[in-house]
Amino acid sequence: MGAGKSTLGPTVAERLGRSFIDLDRELEEAVGKTIPDLFHEIGEPAFRVEEERQTLAALDLPEPAVIALGGGALQTPSIRAALRERAFTVLLEVDADIAWHRSSSQKRPLAQDEGEFHALYERRRKVYDEVADAHARDVDDVVLAAGGVHVRAGALEQVGSLVPGEGAVAFISDAHVAGIHGAAGQAGLGQRVRSVHEVPAGEEAKTPVVAQRLWNELRLDRDGLVVALGGGNTTDVSGFVAATYLRGVDWVPVPTSLVGQVDAAIGGKTGIDLQAGKNLVGVFHWPARVVIDPTLLETLPDTEHREGMAEVVKTGLLAGEPLWELPTTERVRRCAAFKAGVCLRDPRDLGARAALNLGHTFGHALEAAAGYQGLTHGGAVALGLLAALRLSGRATDVVEDVLAPQPVRVDRERAWAALLRDKKSRQGEVRIVLLRDDGAAVEARPADEVRMALDALIAD
């Protein structure tokens, strides 16, 4: 009690696109009495019986929800069993003194004496730890836990304990990343490493030829899994191979680039490129865990860091917060949590997730027009954000100040043809993600306006 479940719960539910159930409030409404009055009238044993009935009913609902349990609910064995079977349980951490201050001010029946309250806190602590699937301090922590995303400095050294299961591991990386971080990753996984595989650096990793080679090299059973250490291209192809090998084995991305840590490794999108365009072949395959170690970014060259900042700025614009101003570890955590929440709301990219393409329609068109040579993905997205903000009637200062994108020399007709092939287009309509006061939305815009915005990104 006093951890803040009733306060944080509605926000978590909104981020995940689920309903919120506060079991204390549900119980009060069901019996027509407040919790203190009910305790006083029927005593704690009878109260626990009614609490058990309400909790088991909530856990048996057909649609998933965010449920705030009463602080003493875990004392009931049937509730603990139901949580193990039906729920992902997060322990919202709180200091005992803070919990006492909050609880005593609300005149809760078990918060009448400070010494007894602290003793109760310690007695319940073991049960809480046994039941919890994850621990959290705030909303972002809860969302990350729900998405299976682990963000912590030094996580690479703990990768062995973070990769779930006990099956054999196929370890995939490119030569450059393997030379810097590969030894630490393999050491962390220890005897579980069955095989080590190398992919080309950059976009060349995401080809049918590389995927076919990996399929032929893998020697995993169905309980084995793929661990991908590297940037977004490495995790994209590795996740695609994992999704299709033996009709699907688990995988764990360990992103080493800023793009990977704030975007590419989160959400289960995997894929490879074809000559006709990027990511035209792929499958949704949510990772068993995403292991993010922000300290790995310390080895990134400035050019790679700038690449990732385009996705950071995009995420901050969508979240309505200047996430680009935060220190590195917190920046990564907040951006990763935002994307995880959107993807949990829309795991198959059928609605809300389209907002994550802010600026990308233009960016992908420019990349295609450049033949994926000479224009980086981050540079293309930065230009795309300029166009999207202009069409949205928004200021572009942040993009210009933080990313400083410059017009690119590409063929205008080729860029326009590529933009018209965008997956959001419907029946000839040009559809763009635009930024509005209540968030981002996909909107149809006149072709001449979109063409003008695209042309403004291209140098004469």
User: How far, CA to CA in Å, does 29 sit from each of 23, 42, 72?
Assistant: 10, 16, 19
Helix or strand holding residue 268 (H, E):
none
pLDDT of residue 274: 87
- Is residue 201 a contact partner of residue 176, using CB atoms and an 8 Å limit? yes
pLDDT of residue 427: 64
Domain ranges of the chain: 5-139, 149-301, 358-455
Q: Each residue of 394-447: pLDDT tens digit? A: 999 999 999 999 999 999 999 999 999 887 776 668 999 999 988 898 999 999
- Is residue 167 a contact partner of residue 221, using CB atoms and an 8 Å limit? yes
Please, what's the b/e burial string for 144-161 (b: 16 or more CB within 10 A of its CB; e: otherwise)?
bbbbbbbbeeebbeebbe
pLDDT of residue 373: 86
pLDDT of residue 40: 81
| Distance from C-alpha of 251 to C-alpha of 304, rounded to nearest angstrom | 25
pLDDT (mean) for 196-202: 95
Q: Each residue of 92-139: pLDDT tens digit? A: 999 988 988 888 877 777 788 889 888 988 889 999 999 999 999 999
pLDDT (mean) for 321-345: 97
Look up the CATH architecture of domain 149-301.
3-Layer(aba) Sandwich (3.40)
228 Cβ contact partners less than 8 Å away, ≥ 6 residues apart: 172, 173, 234, 235, 238, 239, 251, 252, 253, 254
DSSP for 338-396 reads HHHHHHHH-TTSSSGGGGGGTTHHHHHHHHHHTTTSSS-HHHHHHHHHHHHHHHHT---
Q: Each residue of 222-237: pLDDT tens digit? A: 999 999 999 999 999 9
pLDDT (mean) for 215-228: 97
What are 179's two structure tokens? 């030379």
In the chain, the percentage of residues whose pLDDT exceeds 70 is 99
- Is residue 84 a contact partner of residue 131, using CB atoms and an 8 Å limit? yes
- Is residue 239 a contact partner of residue 170, using CB atoms and an 8 Å limit? no
| Correct CATH for 5-139 of 2.60.40.1220, 3.40.50.2300, 3.40.50.300, 1.20.1740.10 | 3.40.50.300
CATH superfamily for 358-455 is: Dehydroquinate synthase-like - alpha domain (1.20.1090.10)
Q: Each residue of 361-372: pLDDT tens digit? A: 999 999 989 988
Q: Each residue of 277-296: pLDDT tens digit? A: 778 899 999 999 999 999 99
379 Cβ contact partners less than 8 Å away, ≥ 6 residues apart: 307, 310, 405, 408
pLDDT (mean) for 219-223: 96
pLDDT (mean) for 231-254: 97
Side-chain-side CA neighbours of 119 within 13 Å: the count stands at: 6
pLDDT (mean) for 373-386: 94
Shared fold status for 5-139 and 149-301: yes
